[in-house]
């Protein structure tokens, strides 16, 4: 992989929490890494006859690779993580229903007295070169080829206030945000709460529908190419994303309208910072130009991303242009590496 550093965890090195763990390695700004992540079932569901609830035992679900100590990151900084590439590490992905999990079933939270839905597994064909994901019905001769849209469901750092959180949930520290916006080409901004930030990532999806309605996407082990940097002394209320074309704020909460509110409130604040508009002028701009994208409606905190296209922010420099710099750095490494 040329100048790209590589990390592949052993099974014992996988983490099931954000916070509460010693780092498995160190990332330095300027480096480009390719990092392997297991799928959410820890690779244990390889065929349609293996039910996830039989082979995955709580809390050993949704493992993340890491945590990584980021050189120079201190509490009160922002960690910038640029994702240059995401490529499924296998030629197949897996999805399923899972007892009491998903948007169209009762859950431990939206508790009803009805019996659970049948647990069923689907194995998808993945073709990373053609960027195709192939669905095959279990009880019919029905196949659909869908565009691959690789993403990471879970990226986060150690939480504030000495908390340790399961990798199933998401909050201000990031975590299981499960948004398709977290794809190659974007930079993720997370608030640093502890020395070294302690970054973890996992839960690769070859693709997912908006809201992850069944609670499980097309899950896959993933090789992710990324590079990090630190923005000193900069606060963040909730995770943010930046792409070539847009800025985005991530809202994580229940009910879903509160995820929407958090995301849009933060986006209005961000527009004020970038433009100097007053609060109502910024609100109005977001209200007419804003795009909202539903991440998940199944995890402990739901996710909504509020997005503003960059043409609404002419000549505005986001965090000193750090996204562009990281993108170019990683792009050069990828070019050399291949």
Q: Which of residues 2-41 bind a second copy (CB under 8 A)?
A: 16-17, 19-20
Figure out which of the listed residues 292, 324, 331, 337 binds a second copy, where binding follows CB under 8 A. 292
Query: What is the spatial distance between Cα 338 and Cα 336, in angstroms, rounded to a whole number?
Result: 6
Nearer to a second copy, 148 or 322 (CB): 148
User: According to CB under 8 A, which residues from 120 to 139 bind a second copy?
Assistant: 120, 122, 124, 133, 135, 137-139
Q: How far is the CB of 251 from a second copy (least distance, A)?
A: 8
Q: How far is the CB of 236 from a second copy (least distance, A)?
A: 13
Q: Which two tokens mark 187?
A: 């930079």
| Residue 118 binds a second copy, judged by CB under 8 A | yes
Query: What is the spatial distance between Cα 251 and Cα 45, in angstroms, rounded to a whole number?
Result: 31
8 A C-beta contact, residue 71 and residue 43: no
| Residue 112 binds a second copy, judged by CB under 8 A | yes
Q: How far is the CB of 247 from a second copy (least distance, A)?
A: 14
Other CB atoms within a 10 A radius of the CB of residue 110 amount to: 10
Strand, coil or helix: what is 332?
helix
Which region, left, alpha or beta, applies to residue 212 given φ > 0 means left and ψ of -120 to 50 means alpha? left
Helix axes 256-275, 279-289, angle to 10 degrees: 120
Q: How far is the CB of 256 from a second copy (least distance, A)?
A: 4
Figure out which of the listed residues 13, 44, 106, 132 binds a second copy, where binding follows CB under 8 A. 106
Figure out which of the listed residues 2, 30, 195, 255 binds a second copy, where binding follows CB under 8 A. 255
| Residue 163 binds a second copy, judged by CB under 8 A | yes
User: Which helix (H) or strand (E) covers residue 331, if one does?
Assistant: helix 322-337
| Residue 253 binds a second copy, judged by CB under 8 A | yes
Figure out which of the listed residues 1, 5, 48, 160 binds a second copy, where binding follows CB under 8 A. 160
DSSP letters of 288-327? HH-EEEE-BSSSSSEEEEEEEEGGGSTT--GGGGHHHHHH
Figure out which of the listed residues 10, 11, 47, 114 binds a second copy, where binding follows CB under 8 A. 114
Other CB atoms within a 10 A radius of the CB of residue 221 amount to: 18
User: According to CB under 8 A, which residues from 173 to 192 bind a second copy?
Assistant: none
Nearer to a second copy, 11 or 109 (CB): 109
């Amino acid at each position: 992989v040329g100048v790209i550093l590589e990390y592949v965890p052993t099974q014992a090195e996988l983490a099931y929490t954000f916070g509460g763990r010693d780092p498995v390695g160190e990332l330095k700004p300027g480096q480009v890494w390719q990092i392997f992540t297991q799928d959410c079932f820890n690779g244990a569901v390889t065929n349609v006859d293996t039910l996830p609830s039989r082979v995955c035992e709580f809390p050993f679900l949704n493992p993340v690779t890491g945590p990584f100590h980021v050189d120079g990151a201190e509490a009160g900084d922002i960690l910038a993580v640029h994702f240059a590439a995401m490529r499924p590490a296998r030629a197949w992905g897996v999805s399923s229903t899972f007892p009491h999990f998903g948007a169209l079933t009762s859950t431990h939270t939206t508790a009803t007295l009805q019996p659970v839905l049948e647990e069923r597994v689907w194995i998808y064909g993945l073709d990373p070169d053609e960027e195709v994901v192939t669905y095959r019905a279990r009880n019919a001769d029905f196949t659909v080829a869908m565009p691959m849209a690789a993403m990471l469901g879970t990226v986060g750092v150690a939480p504030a206030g000495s908390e340790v959180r399961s990798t199933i949930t998401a909050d201000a520290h990031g975590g299981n945000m499960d948004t398709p916006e977290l794809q190659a080409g974007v930079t993720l901004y997370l608030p640093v709460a502890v020395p070294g930030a302690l970054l973890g990532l996992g839960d690769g999806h070859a693709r997912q529908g908006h809201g992850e309605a069944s609670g499980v996407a097309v899950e896959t082990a993933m090789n992710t190419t990324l590079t990090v940097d630190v923005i000193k002394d900069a606060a963040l209320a909730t995770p943010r994303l930046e792409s070539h074309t847009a800025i985005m704020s991530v809202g994580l909460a229940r009910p879903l309208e509160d995820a929407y509110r958090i995301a849009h409130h933060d986006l209005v604040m961000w527009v004020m910072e970038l433009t100097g508009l007053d609060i109502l002028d910024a609100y109005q701009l977001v209200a007419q130009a804003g795009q909202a994208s539903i991440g998940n409606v199944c995890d402990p905190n739901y996710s909504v991303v509020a997005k503003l296209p960059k043409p609404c922010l002419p000549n505005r420099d986001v965090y000193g242009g750090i996204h562009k710099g990281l993108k170019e750095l990683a792009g050069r490494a990828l070019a050399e590496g291949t």
